[in-house]
Chains A and B, each alone.
Chain A
Amino acid sequence: MNEIKGDLKRKIVILTLTENCNLDCIYCFEKAKTKKLMNIDVAKKAIAFEFQNSEGFDEIEIDLFGGEPTLCIDTIQEIIEWTNAQCFQKPYLFFLDTNGTLVHGKFQDWLCRNKEFVWAGLSLDGTPETHNKNRSNSYNKIDIDFFLRTYPKQPVRMTIYNDTLKNLSNDIIHLHNLGFAEVVATFAYGIDWELNDLNLYLKNELQILCDFYLANPQIKECSIFNLHLPNILSKDKKVTKWCGTGTSMVSYGIDGTKYPCQTFQQNTTLNKKAITLDEIDFNSIADFSDTECTNCMIEPICPNCYGMNYVKEGNILKRDKQLCEIVKIRALAISYLKAKQIQINIEKMKPNEAYQTIKAINIIQNNLTTLKEKCYE
């Protein structure tokens, strides 16, 4: 297999191996768990089809998804060994999105032997206290060192839940201290976020994290701090697509039905109709704006999940407005951190990068420090 390069155009193929899970995480967006499994022939057919129809892509990433995919270890091993035997011409890599609780013993040995073909990414929510509260008391069931040792460049995935918000900085610092190369921390979708909690706790927690990163510049900031502030200067531009759903990404349900991504599948959409890949042409949508956000100054940096929009609002373009304050507080925290970092590093920055970042900091600090309004016109 050729080495996969990060700067090539990649097709993402998601295989839902099972809708079952051995945990019951408090925020899980897959509300409808079933015992259904993907048949091995469905998986092989999907993989062969994607390799044969991958014009325009340099490489293929096949995500083994669930539920918890490691409930199907035999299927995982057969899929990967079968794929390796096919001699497909495009570079590929399997990715296992796992809660880690079933990754032990012989399966660890097998993963180590097949590290060239499959990477595993771990979900871990921070300190044992937070993780156990969010994720079914599973902290001690995970061999964290195995993931650190076997996949040293792989970030850890953390989901932030409202009830553990007060411990956010401790949780993220705990993951840094464990030695993960990067912490991808995302706020749970589809739950109730209270404005008062966000103003009371999130701002304080992000302030603590800003101070932590300023004191430890060798540590890569967690993904909460990765919004690209200068984008707010380009407000006149149309809003383009946020992710690869339905274009460079396809998700196969357990019966082989194709969806734009996993959030459009029935186990997520619940009482709303699932949307298959051929029911939405994402390439034909020229503007991904939410009309209610047109006057919001941070719309250009506001993350968007079309699947969760559909689940919550019944419209792929209509954002969940409960997330607005989170993005505003994130933008404020980033502006604070960047303001401090620029003073130290301005000589190392490109002139346009420094100029645009300072302008964006001014706008954000002048408009978002009170956070009283829902939208900023």
Chain B
Amino acid sequence: MNNLRVSELDLALLNKNLYQLENDFETEELELVDLYGDIVGCTGDCKGGCTGKCGHNCGGHCTSILAY
């Protein structure tokens, strides 16, 4: 059982990708926050009207996920 630890080798491979991205793209582009990233805990799909679509704990309301 790994207990959810990412191995040092895997982290090194990931960080190699990170450096490659930093070389290939402008910082501004890499730090661009997607719309949903601005809304804490929310995918943003419902534009502020909670539908439970994100599945987060909101007091038993999370199953009301309708047409999508």
Contacts and interface: CB of A to CB of B under 8 A. Distances in A.
Given A6-B45, A303-B57, A333-B4, A355 B21 contact: yes
A62 to B, nearest CB: 10
A274 interface: no
A239 B24 contact: no
A195 B42 CA distance: 27
Contacts of B58: 242-245, 261, 303, 305
Interface in B11-60: 11, 13-15, 17-18, 21-22, 24-25, 29-34, 36-43, 45-60
Contacts of B63: 95, 97, 121-123, 154-157, 184
Contact of B62 (A4, A184, A248, A263): A184
A217 interface: no
A374 interface: no
Given A12-B51, A248-B49, A335-B6, A355 B30 contact: yes
A231 B2 CA distance: 25
B6 A365 contact: yes
A57 B51 CA distance: 12
Q: Main SS of the interface on chain A?
A: mixed
B67 A339 contact: no
Contacts of A302: 41
A346 interface: yes
Given A29-B59, A305-B58, A332-B4, A10 B51 contact: yes
B37 A223 contact: no
A167 interface: no
A362 interface: yes
Most buried by A among B5, B24, B55, B60: B60
Contacts of B64: 12, 61, 63, 95, 97, 121
Given A153-B68, A340-B10, A342-B17, A12 B37 contact: no
B67 A6 contact: yes
Interface in A71-99: 93, 95, 97
Contact of B41 (A29, A301, A362): A301
A343 B14 CA distance: 7
A173 interface: no
Interface stretch (A43-51, A104-112, A137-145, A202-210): A202-210
Contacts of B11: 339, 361-362, 365
Interface of B is mostly: loop
B41 A242 contact: yes
A257 interface: no
Nearest to A307: B59
Among A4, A153, A186, A308, the one with the most B-chain Cβ atoms within 10 Å of its Cβ is A186
Contact of A365 (B5, B32, B33, B39): B5
Contacts of A206: 4
Given A6-B67, A97-B63, A342-B14, A352 B3 contact: no
B7 to A, nearest CB: 9
Contacts of B32: 352
A5 interface: yes
A230 B32 CA distance: 11
5 contacts: A97-B63, A231-B40, A303-B41, A332-B4, A340-B10
Interface of B: 1-6, 10-11, 13-15, 17-18, 21-22, 24-25, 29-34, 36-43, 45-68
Given A93-B67, A156-B63, A187-B57, 16 more contacts: A4-B67, A8-B47, A9-B47, A12-B50, A97-B63, A123-B63, A153-B67, A157-B63, A182-B65, A204-B1, A223-B56, A249-B50, A353-B34, A355-B18, A362-B15, A369-B4
Interface of A: 3-12, 14, 29, 57, 61, 63, 93, 95, 97, 119, 121-123, 153-157, 182, 184, 186-187, 189, 203-204, 206-207, 210, 223, 226-228, 230-231, 234, 237, 239-245, 247-249, 261-263, 300-305, 307-308, 329, 332-333, 335-336, 339-340, 342-343, 346, 350-356, 358-359, 361-362, 365, 369
Top 3 closest A-B pairs, CB basis? A244-B50, A223-B55, A6-B68
